[in-house]
Structure 1
C-alpha cells in the first residue's frame, strides 16, 4: 500500500521521463496539427499587440480563395481551382471543421495515452463519468452544437465568405472586380457593391440565404439591409459572444470557488458576510443592473477594450458570481464536514492547502455543470443588450444587433435578417444547457431520478441558482 502511495506521488513529468515514447508520439502529432494553423495564431497574438505579423496558413482564404468573379461565359476567375465562389467557400468550411474535429480526436487520443501509460490506477471514477457522457444523447447533442459554435468563433476570419475589414469596418478601402451588363470588366469598391446588394424587404432589393449578388459574391446567410455579408457578421459575432461568455465565467467561477471554499472552511462570520454580499447582488434586477453598469462605465477605458466586450465580461462576472457561488456552496459545506478535513486540521495542515487539495476537487464538477448552463444565459443576455443598443459598440458585429436590425423585415422577403440570428441564439443557448445536463448526469448518475445522496448534494448546490 505504501509503495502504491509512493508511485501516486510521482509527478506526471517523472512518469513521462521513465516512458517517453507514447507521450512523444502524441506530442509530435499535436505539433504537426498546430503547425498547420500556426500562422493564424501568430497573427491573432500580434494583432492584440498592435503589430500583426502575416505568416502562411494552410486553411486560409488566401490559399482557398472564394472572392473572384465570373466571366460572361460562366468561367470563374481568381477562385480556388476556378471553382464557383460557393463551392470554394464550402470547401474551405469543410476543411476547417475537419481540422477542428481532428484536433478533438487527437485530444481524446492524448487522454487514452495518459490513461494507458501514465496513470497508475486501472480505474478511476472519472472513467465511469466519461462512459456515461458518451452514452448521453441529449448531452451529445449539446456538445455537437457547442463544438460547431466554438469553431465558428475561433476560425471566424477564415470561415466567412469575406472579412470584417472588407465588408463591415472599412468597405470603401477595398475593391472587387465584376462584369457589368455590357460584358465589361469593372472595378468597384466593396462599399459601393454593398449598396447594390442590400436586403430591404422587397424582391428586387433582397439577397437571401444561399444566393449570389449582382457582383458575383456568395452570401450563405444573405445580406443585411446595409448590403454587408450576414455570415461574416454572424461568425465575427460568435467570436465576441464567446469571448464575453468565457471571460466572465472564468472570473466569476474563480470568485465563486474561492468564496465557497473559504465560507465552508471557516463558516460563522465569514460565511455570513459573503451571504449578505451575495444576496445583496442577487436581489437586484439582473438585466436592469447590467444595463445601468454598462451605461455608467461606458465612457471609461474598459469600454475601449474589444469594442466594449471586455467591459461586458467584467460586468457579468461581477454580477454573476453569487449565482455560481450558491451552486457550489452546498457541496462545499458537505465536504467540509468530512472526517478527512478534520484530520487535515488536526495535523496542522495549512487551510489553503486543505481547501486546494481536499475540498476543491469535489466541487469543480458542480461548477462545470452550472457554468455551462450560465454561459448560455450570458450569450443571450449579451444579445439582448445589443438588441437594446447597449453593450458591444457598433459596427462590431453582435447577434442581438442583427435581430434588432431585421425586426422590421420579418414579414417581408428579407425575413432572414432576424430569423437566422434568432434561431442560432436559441440553438446555442439550448446546446449549452443540454451539455450541462449531460455533464451533471455523468457526474451524478442518480440525478435524473432525484434519488440518492448525490442528488441531495446536487439539490443543495443548485438551490441558490
Structure 2
C-alpha cells in the first residue's frame, strides 16, 4: 500500500473515485480545450523534439558519426509534423484567413466571410488570446476544485501565498504581459498577418493576388516585389511609409506597419522574434538554474571544500567580461554547427547559461545553507538516508520558490542583453528574427514618418523585461510577506515554495 502522511489519508485517485463528478466535469472541458488545438500543440511538441535531436546529434557527432541516424530521425519528425499540420485546429490561418484581395465590386475575396483583412486578422487575434486566457483560467479552476473537493487540509501555507499573489497588482500586471508574450511566441504562425516563410524566408517563391485600381483588374505578383514596393523608408511622400494599422497598395493589412528595405510586415517579424527571445531566455535560465540548484544543494549539504571550490569557480566566471566572452565564442564557433543554429541564438543561450549561474547560485546559497541546518535534515542523516534523497525531499522544496523569483528576474535581463547584442551586430544574425535587429534597422528613421520601426520593438522590449521583473516581485512578496520590509518568513516560505 502507498504510504501517506496520515494513516487515514487516501491517495488522490481514491479520493476522486469517491467523488468523481467535479473531476470528470473539469477533465471533460480540459480535454476539449486540448482537442481543439491538438494539431498546434503536437506541432510545438514536435518542434521541441527536433531541437533536442539536432542538439543531441551535434554533440554526439563530435565523438561518433551519427549523421545518418540524425537525418533519419529528422525525416521521421518532419513526417510527424506534416501529419500534425493536417489535424484541424480551431485557431488557424485556414479557418480565419486574413489574406485576400479586393474585387472590382469593392468587396474582398479570400478573407474570412469576405471581411476586410484588418477585421479578419483582428478576429483571429482575439480568438487566440481568448483561448490562452481561458485555458489558464481553467487550470486555475482545476486547482480550486482540488482544494475544495479533494484536499484533506483546510489550510496550508500555500493558501496564504496564493491569496497574497491574487491581491498583488504589480505581480498580476507582470503575469498578464508575460502570458501575452509567451502566447505571441507560441502562436506566432497563427497571430501573424502573413507567414514568415512568405514574408522573409522565401518571398519570391510565393504568389500574391491584388487588385490593380489603375488597370481595374486582379493581378498577380510575388511577396518579394510587393515588400520592396511597400517598404517604409521614411520619405516625405506618404507612400514611402506604411505605418501602424494601415493597408499597403496591395491590399495587405499591417497591424504595426512595414519594415525598411527590403520590406515586410513588422508584426510578423516581431512575433517570430518573440520565439527566438523566449528560446534564448528559457534555455539560458534552464542551464544556469540547473547548475545553480545542483551546486547549491551540494555545497549546502557538504559545505567545507565543496563550498570553497564553488566560490572560487563562481568568482572566476563572474570576473570574465560577458561581452568579451560572447565575442570570443562567436569567433571560435563561427564555423561550428553551434554557431549556425538559430544563427547564433543557441550559442548565445549557452554562453548566458554559463555566465548567469554564479549569480543565481549565490542568491540561493543562503536559503540552501539555512535549510541544511534544520532538524529534519539532521534527522534524515541520522537515519541513514541517502544524501541525494535528503537533498531532493528536504532541501530542494525550500529553494524552489527562491529560484522562481530569481529566474523570473534574470530572464528579463537575458532578453534585453540579447537584444542589445543584436542591436550592436554581435548577437543573433539575420535571417533569424530578433527584436534588437529591428531596433537597429529602424534607428535611422526615428525622426521620420517611419518612426514605428524602432519605436514599437523598443517599447515591447521594455514592457516584457519590466513584466518579468514585476512577476518576480509578485512571487517574492507572495512567498515571503516580510520581504518588502527586509525580513523573512523562512518556515512559511519553505512550505509555500514546494510544500503540499
Question: What TM-score do you get using the length of structure 1 for normalisation?
Answer: 0.94
Checking the alignment, whether the CA contact within 8 Å between 2:338 and 2:344 is kept in structure 1 is yes
Does residue 240 of structure 2 align to residue 211 of structure 1?
A: no
Q: 2:378 — aligned with what?
A: 342
Checking the alignment, whether the CA contact within 8 Å between 1:199 and 1:224 is kept in structure 2 is yes
| Residue pairs, 1:256-275, within 5 angstroms | 256-275=292-311
1:308-339 residue CA offsets vs partner (Å, 9 max, x unmatched): 32222222112111111111000000111111
Does residue 403 of structure 2 align to residue 331 of structure 1?
A: no
The Cα of 1:3 is off from its aligned counterpart by 8.6
The Cα of 1:295 is off from its aligned counterpart by 3.2
The Cα of 1:301 is off from its aligned counterpart by 1.8
The Cα of 1:390 is off from its aligned counterpart by 2.6
Checking the alignment, whether the CA contact within 8 Å between 2:12 and 2:150 is kept in structure 1 is yes
> How many residue pairs end up in the alignment?
455
Checking the alignment, whether the CA contact within 8 Å between 2:181 and 2:274 is kept in structure 1 is yes
Q: Which moved more, 1:135-144 or 1:20-29?
A: 20-29
Checking the alignment, whether the CA contact within 8 Å between 2:171 and 2:473 is kept in structure 1 is yes
Using the alignment, how far apart are the partners of 2:392 and 2:487 within structure 1? Answer: 29
Give structure 2 stretches of 5+ with no counterpart: 51-76, 495-500
Using the alignment, how far apart are the partners of 2:205 and 2:482 within structure 1? Answer: 60
Q: 1:31 — aligned with what?
A: 31
Checking the alignment, whether the CA contact within 8 Å between 1:36 and 1:58 is kept in structure 2 is yes
Does residue 207 of structure 2 align to residue 175 of structure 1?
A: yes
Does residue 229 of structure 2 align to residue 196 of structure 1?
A: yes
Q: 2:92 — aligned with what?
A: 60
Q: 1:428 — aligned with what?
A: 464
1:274-327 residue CA offsets vs partner (Å, 9 max, x unmatched): 111111111112233233223322322223334432222222112111111111
Using the alignment, how far apart are the partners of 2:469 and 2:422 within structure 1? Answer: 22
Checking the alignment, whether the CA contact within 8 Å between 2:38 and 2:89 is kept in structure 1 is yes
Does residue 395 of structure 2 align to residue 363 of structure 1?
A: no
The Cα of 1:452 is off from its aligned counterpart by 4.8
The Cα of 1:343 is off from its aligned counterpart by 1.1
Q: Which moved more, 1:297-306 or 1:379-388?
A: 297-306
Using the alignment, how far apart are the partners of 1:199 and 1:5 within structure 2? Answer: 68
CA RMSD of aligned residues (A): 2.0
Q: Which moved more, 1:74-83 or 1:24-33?
A: 24-33
Does residue 170 of structure 2 align to residue 144 of structure 1?
A: no
Using the alignment, how far apart are the partners of 2:322 and 2:41 within structure 1? Answer: 36
The Cα of 1:15 is off from its aligned counterpart by 4.2
Checking the alignment, whether the CA contact within 8 Å between 1:7 and 1:120 is kept in structure 2 is no
Pairing partner for 1:254 from 274, 282, 290: 290
* SS of residue matched to 2:221: strand
1:67-102 residue CA offsets vs partner (Å, 9 max, x unmatched): 001124321111001110000000000000000011
* SS of residue matched to 1:63: coil
Pairing partner for 2:275 from 239, 242, 254: 239
* SS of residue matched to 2:484: coil
Q: Which moved more, 1:310-319 or 1:181-190?
A: 310-319
Using the alignment, how far apart are the partners of 1:413 and 1:303 within structure 2? Answer: 37
Q: 1:461 — aligned with what?
A: none
| Residue pairs, 1:12-91, within 5 angstroms | 12-46=12-46, 48=50, 49-51=77-79, 52-53=81-82, 54-55=85-86, 56-91=88-123
Change (3 A) 1:359 1:285: same
Give structure 1 stretches of 5+ with no counterpart: 459-465
Using the alignment, how far apart are the partners of 1:325 and 1:6 within structure 2? Answer: 39
1:85-121 residue CA offsets vs partner (Å, 9 max, x unmatched): 0000000000000000110111001111222233221
* SS of residue matched to 2:208: strand
Checking the alignment, whether the CA contact within 8 Å between 2:422 and 2:437 is kept in structure 1 is yes
| Residue pairs, 1:285-296, within 5 angstroms | 285-296=321-332
1:204-236 residue CA offsets vs partner (Å, 9 max, x unmatched): 311111100000000011000122000000000
Checking the alignment, whether the CA contact within 8 Å between 1:68 and 1:77 is kept in structure 2 is yes
